[in-house]
């Protein structure tokens, strides 16, 4: 098929603009973000420009000079490569999938609408703050791979999340770029929605993004029809105050439901990914009640129960954090203002509406919590790791009665003393994963193609070719490890020089940065949001002991950090400052670095280049964590507190556990204890194993650990496995209802 059409194309006169249109079309489907050939094709147009525009092919195409264009038009190999990429995308889109091959005709009618406030699809499409967005982006990619019929609903932010600049004194500079949507991979659907708001009608435009087979609808209020305040609703991700937050969440939830109508989508399942989107379930309830209004014989109570049942039947809710600040809460006054018509539309009293979101339904001072609303209206709830499911059941047990039911009219049917045993609370778990192809360093593909024979296109959620990682000869795997570490060291140096140049550093300092870090030294990475519970500076608790570990002449160790704190989180920013200050001290210079502005590119470089991935949160606040699932794709090893996903994966060989997985305390003593444990591991196991080389220079014990890490983590903690589980255990049962 593709050969015939490409011959025809070559026979026709190669119209000049045709090439650019075709490149643009290839860039408009985010499939290229996990296809190394397509990325290499875009990069080849102008490698320096490709880097300068954050690997954004649309921005790159817009910036090519006339002479570059003329030269590229005469390049036949470019046409051949483009044809190959087009054919690969065509084949990807047309090939049968796990879902299309295994689902029954009734199941194939399933349509999932997946709501999320952020999606991390690529560094050039910076509509994410951290782990939630990365998870959601990877979910869409695997849904496409597996053929699970799913459309995404979100927002398109004019400025996205902030860009972090560390000032010379270590304080955080917060900068917001303004994105030109013409240079983002989104298409104007020409459709808008209108939402009633207290200060007048709010109009939002619907943009569409293509992620392989998956479509995303993104809402944007930055339109002339809106007031300046309304235009600002989709300006910043997690920006503004609590007033902005409720407006964004009404837009995402209620507006998202309207947008699905406008786009002609008829979902049979709603998936609320985190509480931000819970108003979608309230809107679904309003619709059910309206539909049932004709059924005159039923009492209002029966109508209510049936409508709630129907909404619960088709709604899936995933909760992502046990940290209180992670659960949005609005005041009764806000709810009164924004949902003035709510009680009438739902046929309930104001107090009953408020009680839907209250932890203590009878307490008029209690706020309206989006997680509580979601738990009351979603019949299929889950946490994001086995441990997190456990924590969520304990955390929310007071909402459920002894039988594990949750009242939808808690005022007239309080749970009271009959609170559920956590075992009866119907919150399950689906452990998170990562989209392997997105995070896998392209340099490793030849090695894996040769020994593991991965079949990316058409693979099912259970296909786990990583189990055969032992086939890779130790020497080759170790050589690959060094190559990736060297790639990271070059990257670190380049980023350090950029940072120093901007801060006005002297030439001696810049020259030193070009020599910093070593491609042969044990490299440990720590990169994640600098939320305080993640304790980024923990390893500096005893600077003398750490310095002795890093500067051991026979067994040098180096540490690379990256992470942003929320712009309002002073404590998290102080963490960045402390790490920056340590990196400037003579004992740590050239061995410790803080790379600013953690994003997907930094994430890819660090998780592929580091030998050890350090994770030291306060148990049990790391709901899952996903960054630790990325290093094993490259033979990296985790050294982590037994929190989030790690208790499910750790087997004594595939990495290290910092603690015993029991304590749930916090405070200076706990920090002390955990820091000591990290030092002990580094001194007695990690550094000695890494440097114990055989005659051919290979650390056999270490390589065994690498293989164990690949075998036990890569398949089991992929979004292919994860989306398969959502489909089988959540989506299909919800669709069946």
Ligand X SMILES: *Cc1c(COP(=O)(O)O)cnc(C)c1O
Residues that bind ligand X (CB under 6 A): 130-131, 134, 528-529, 598-600, 603, 625-627
Q: Are 115 and 218 in contact (CB under 8 A)?
A: no
Q: Is 389 or 625 the residue whose CB approaches ligand X more closely?
A: 625
Report the nearest approach of ligand X to the CB of residue 432 (Å).
8
The residue number with the shortest CB distance to ligand X is: 603
Calpha distance 327→368 (Å, rounded) = 10
Report the nearest approach of ligand X to the CB of residue 20 (Å).
31
Report the nearest approach of ligand X to the CB of residue 50 (Å).
20
Report the nearest approach of ligand X to the CB of residue 601 (Å).
8
Q: Is 132 or 372 the residue whose CB approaches ligand X more closely?
A: 132
Q: Is 135 or 233 the residue whose CB approaches ligand X more closely?
A: 135
Report the nearest approach of ligand X to the CB of residue 588 (Å).
23
Calpha distance 608→468 (Å, rounded) = 20
Report the nearest approach of ligand X to the CB of residue 205 (Å).
27
Q: Are 141 and 71 in contact (CB under 8 A)?
A: no
Q: Is 714 helix (H, G, I), strand (E, B) or coil?
A: helix
Report the nearest approach of ligand X to the CB of residue 640 (Å).
10
Q: Is 130 or 147 the residue whose CB approaches ligand X more closely?
A: 130
Q: How far is CA 435 from CA 185, 461, 560, 630, in A?
A: 20, 11, 23, 9
Q: Is 377 or 434 the residue whose CB approaches ligand X more closely?
A: 434
Calpha distance 734→737 (Å, rounded) = 5
Calpha distance 366→355 (Å, rounded) = 9
DSSP state of 236: B
Q: Is 384 or 592 the residue whose CB approaches ligand X more closely?
A: 384
Calpha distance 440→730 (Å, rounded) = 28
Calpha distance 507→538 (Å, rounded) = 32
Q: Is 334 or 718 the residue whose CB approaches ligand X more closely?
A: 718
How many beta carbons lie within 10 A of that of residue 456, not counting itself? Answer: 16
Element (H, E) at 368: strand 368-369
Q: Report the Cα 465 to chain-centroid distance in Å.
A: 24
Report the nearest approach of ligand X to the CB of residue 623 (Å).
9
Q: Are 715 and 709 in contact (CB under 8 A)?
A: no
Q: Is 487 or 704 the residue whose CB approaches ligand X more closely?
A: 487
The torsion of the CA quartet 131, 137, 138, 143, rounded to 10 degrees, works out to: 140
Calpha distance 54→125 (Å, rounded) = 9
The torsion of the CA quartet 226, 185, 630, 675, rounded to 10 degrees, works out to: -30
Calpha distance 570→206 (Å, rounded) = 35
Calpha distance 403→653 (Å, rounded) = 41
Report the nearest approach of ligand X to the CB of residue 491 (Å).
14
Q: Is 358 or 564 the residue whose CB approaches ligand X more closely?
A: 564
């Amino acid at each position: 098929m593709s050969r015939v059409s490409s011959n025809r194309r070559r026979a026709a006169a190669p119209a000049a603009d045709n090439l650019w249109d075709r490149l643009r079309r290839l860039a408009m489907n985010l499939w290229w973000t996990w296809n190394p050939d397509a990325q290499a094709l875009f990069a080849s147009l102008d490698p320096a420009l490709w880097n300068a525009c954050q690997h954004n092919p649309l921005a790159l195409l817009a910036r090519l000079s006339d002479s570059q264009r003329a030269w590229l038009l005469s390049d036949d190999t470019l046409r051949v490569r483009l044809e190959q990429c087009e054919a690969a995308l065509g084949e990807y889109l047309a090939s049968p999938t796990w879902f299309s091959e295994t689902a029954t005709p009734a199941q194939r009618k399933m349509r999932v609408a997946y709501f999320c406030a952020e999606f991390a699809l690529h560094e050039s499409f910076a509509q994410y703050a951290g782990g939630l967005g990365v998870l959601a982006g990877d979910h869409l990619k695997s849904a496409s791979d597996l053929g699970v019929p799913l459309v995404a609903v979100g927002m398109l932010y004019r400025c996205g999340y902030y860009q972090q600049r560390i000032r010379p004194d270590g304080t955080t500079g917060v900068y917001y770029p303004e994105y030109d949507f013409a240079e983002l991979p989104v298409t104007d659907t020409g459709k808008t929605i209108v939402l009633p708001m207290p200060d007048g009608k709010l109009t939002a435009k619907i943009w569409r993004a293509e992620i392989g087979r998956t479509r995303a609808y993104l809402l944007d209020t930055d339109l002339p029809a809106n007031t300046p305040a309304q235009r600002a609703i989709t300006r910043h991700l997690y920006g503004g105050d609590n007033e902005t937050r409720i407006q964004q969440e009404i837009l995402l939830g209620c507006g998202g439901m309207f947008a699905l109508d406008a786009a002609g989508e008829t979902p049979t399942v709603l998936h609320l990914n985190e509480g931000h989107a819970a108003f979608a379930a309230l809107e679904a309830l309003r619709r059910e009640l309206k539909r049932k209004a004709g059924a005159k014989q039923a009492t209002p109570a029966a109508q209510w129960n049936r409508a709630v049942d129907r909404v619960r039947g088709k709604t899936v809710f995933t909760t992502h954090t046990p940290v209180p600040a992670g659960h949005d809460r609005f005041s009764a006054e806000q709810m009164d203002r924004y949902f003035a018509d709510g009680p009438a539309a739902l046929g309930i009293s104001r107090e009953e509406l408020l009680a839907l979101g209250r932890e203590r339904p009878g307490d008029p001072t209690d706020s309206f919590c989006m997680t509580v609303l979601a738990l009351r209206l979603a019949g299929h709830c889950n946490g994001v790791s086995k441990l997190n499911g456990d924590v969520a059941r304990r955390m929310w047990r007071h909402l459920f009665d002894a039988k594990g039911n949750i009242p939808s009219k808690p005022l007239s049917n309080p749970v009271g003393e009959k609170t559920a045993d956590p075992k009866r609370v119907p919150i399950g778990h689906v452990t998170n994963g990562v989209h392997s192809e997105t995070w896998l360093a392209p340099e490793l593909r030849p090695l894996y193609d040769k020994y593991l024979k991965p079949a990316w296109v058409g693979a099912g959620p259970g296909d786990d070719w990583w189990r055969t990682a032992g086939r890779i000869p130790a020497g080759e795997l170790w050589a690959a490890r060094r190559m990736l570490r060297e790639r990271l060291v070059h990257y670190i140096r380049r980023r350090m020089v950029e940072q120093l140049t901007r801060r006005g550093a002297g030439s001696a300092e810049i020259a030193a940065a070009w020599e910093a870090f070593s491609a042969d030294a044990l490299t440990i990475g720590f990169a994640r949001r600098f939320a305080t519970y993640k304790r980024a500076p923990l390893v500096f608790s005893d600077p003398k002991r750490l310095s002795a570990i890093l500067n051991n002449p026979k067994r040098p160790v180096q540490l690379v950090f990256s992470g942003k704190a929320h712009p309002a989180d002073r404590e998290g920013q102080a963490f960045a400052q402390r790490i920056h200050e340590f990196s400037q001290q003579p004992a740590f210079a050239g061995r410790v670095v803080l790379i600013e502005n953690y994003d997907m590119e930094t994430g890819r470089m660090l998780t592929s280049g580091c030998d050890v991935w350090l994770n030291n949160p306060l148990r049990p606040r790391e709901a899952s964590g996903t960054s630790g699932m990325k290093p094993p794709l490259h033979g990296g090893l985790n050294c982590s507190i037994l929190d989030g996903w790690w208790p499910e994966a750790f087997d004594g060989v595939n990495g290290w556990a910092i603690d015993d997985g029991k304590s749930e305390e916090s405070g200076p003593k706990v920090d002390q204890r955990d820091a000591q444990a990290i030092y002990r591991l580094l001194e007695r196991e990690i550094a000695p194993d890494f440097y114990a080389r055989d005659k051919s220079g290979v650390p056999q014990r270490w390589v065994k650990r690498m293989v164990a890490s690949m075998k036990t983590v890569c398949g089991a903690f992929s979004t292919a496995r994860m989306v398969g589980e959502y489909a089988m255990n959540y989506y299909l049962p919800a669709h069946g209802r």
